[in-house]
Structure formats: C-alpha cells, structure tokens
Copies of this chain bind each other. A is one copy, B any other.
Amino acid sequence: MVALDWGTSSLRGWLMDAEGHVRGEYAAPHGIMALPEGGFAAAYAQARSGLGADPALPALACGMVGSTSGWRDVPYVACPADPARLVEGLGARDGDVLPIVPGVRLDGPTPDVMRGEETQIMGALSQHPQWGASSIMIMPGTHSKWVRIEGGQIESFRTFMTGELYAVLMKHSILGRPSQGGETSDSVRDDAFRRGVLQAAASESGLAPILFSARSLFVTGVLPGAATGDYLSGMVLGDEIRAGMMAIGGTAPGADTIGRVVIVGEDALSRRYARAFDLLGLPAPRMVGNTAAAGLFAIACQAGLVRAVVSAKGLS
C-alpha cells in the first residue's frame, strides 16, 4: 500500500508490503499550504510516482489533508475513538481517489481537536498492544498532544501550545530581548532550563504568576541574558508536564500514572521531554519514534483496504 502523512508544511510517504514493512520512503515540501502546480492531485501523483507504486496499489492518508483547508473535509470522529470508529469516519466515497483518516474531536465546554496524531497513536498501539489497556501518550511538537488511552481507545486528550507559546514569547515579547546577543556556557544554560522546569512544575497556580520571572531573574542579575531562553523553555515544558498530568493523567506528577507514560515522536524533542521527566525525579517514560506509517497500515487493514499477510496486532 501507499501510506501518506500529509500535513500543513510537508508530505511524507511510505511504500509498504503486505506484512506492514516499509519498502520505500518519500518526502516532499508539498504540505497543503505549499502545493505544486496541479494542486492536490499533482502532489499525490508525484508521491506515488516517487515511491514507484503500482497504479493498482491502494493508498491511505492522514493529517491536515483531511481538514477544511485540505483536499477533502473529513469530519472529526468524537472521543472515545478506536480504529473501528476511525474506519467508519474514513473520508472515502465512491469515486474518491484517496481515502483519508478522520481527525478526532473531544467535546465539552473547552473542546479540542487532533488530525494526524490519531494515526500515530494507532501505529504505536499496533506495535505495542500492551499500551492499549491504560496509558498516557505525549506527542511533542509545536502543539503537543497529551492523550489518555483506555481499553484501546483514545479516551480524551489535550493540546498544549507549548512550542508555539515559547516561539512567540521569545520572538515578540519582552522576555526574548535579553537573549539576543551575549553568550554563556552550556552548563549555565542547562542549569537555567532545569530551574525553569522545576519552578513551573512546582507552581500550583500555574505559569501566569511566574512567567515574568524570566525577565526578573535577568534584571536582578541572577540569570545571564543568554540563558533566559533556556529558563523560559524549561518553564513552559515544566508547566505542560504539571498541567498535563492533572488534566490527562488525572493526578499530580509523581503518582502511579507516571509509570504509564509513552512519548511518541522525533528523537531530539522527545529527549528534551524525557530530560524534564528526569529533572522532576519521575520514572523514565517509554519512547517510540514516528509511528504514522504503522498507523496507516493498521487502519488500512481494519478498513479492508489491504489484506495483511500478518494481521496487525492489537486491532482485532
């Protein structure tokens, strides 16, 4: 099959055999906001061609390609969501070229949405069925997701704008100014990150009353300007962990929940999260890389789009 993770800024593809092994990879900057001439159809044809995919091979995509700004608007599926619900919501009617995995919606007074992460979650669960019983999956990124998995389902989740919040505060607020110019040692920067993580994780009233300390520590001469960004980075991450544990783990950091944390994502960012866990004295989270391809394969099997030689684990 042809598996596509089609986001806002990039398009990644995998050619997969009937056992779910990756036989070829493809990457293009053809996110839904950066399409080539010919639009979605052209980008899709180039991906198939780049993967050397036989025209008869079925395909499945996930990500922002299924949003209102995508190729086709595929409505969100409500929580709790499992592979069967995702298959029901597949955006593929007769004549559609490319079926698209629906995103997932959390209803309530402060609703939330994901699109693409649901597929990575199903990939992680197909590779590690034991995580399906009860776990907390963290998917670091510009908009991090914290996801509660219960009984193989996405029970609830929360988006944390940690990466974007850090970026806009550094670039556009008074907090970013002292970090421009000036240098300091790696150990001073690492200490500042540590300090930020610990302070924010300990702040019961949240980030709001201590955010300005990223400036006060500089103004009072405690922190060199060049380390204030590391302190801020530690604070927003420490706050995410504190709040994520309360909102998704249903408990303060340190309780039993923490033993069931899985970080799904790219290496560098995941390691930064793991480092924060370590600084907080919490058990090391389990870690797994990008599982989009595995998720697309698992959902395609469930949908009968492909007939797997070895049935995808944890999905039947």
Contacts and interface: CB of A to CB of B under 8 A. Distances in A.
Contact of A199 (B110, B112, B204): B110
Contact of A109 (B112, B173, B199, B244): B199
B208 A160 contact: yes
B246 A204 contact: yes
Interface string A267-308: 000000000000000000000000000000000000000000
Interface in A117-166: 143, 146, 158-162, 164-165
B207 A247 contact: no
Given A76-B220, A168-B169, A160 B209 contact: yes
Interface stretch (A32-40, A91-99, A211-219, A255-263): A211-219
A-side interface mostly: mixed
Interface residues of A, number: 51
A110 B216 contact: yes
A133 B102 CA distance: 59
Interface in A148-202: 158-162, 164-165, 168-169, 171-175, 195, 199
A230 interface: no
Contacts of A110: 199, 203, 210, 213, 216-217
Interface stretch (A11-19, A52-60, A235-243): A235-243
A168 B162 contact: no
A309 interface: no
Among A68, A195, A219, A246, find the residue whose CB has the most chain B CB atoms closer than 10 A: A219
Nearest to A213: B110
A220 B105 contact: yes
Contacts of A205: 206, 242-243, 246-247
11 contacts: A105-B220, A111-B213, A112-B216, A160-B211, A161-B212, A164-B174, A168-B173, A172-B172, A205-B242, A206-B242, A208-B243
Interface of A: 68, 76, 105, 109-113, 143, 146, 158-162, 164-165, 168-169, 171-175, 195, 199, 203-213, 215-217, 219-220, 222, 239-240, 242-244, 246-248
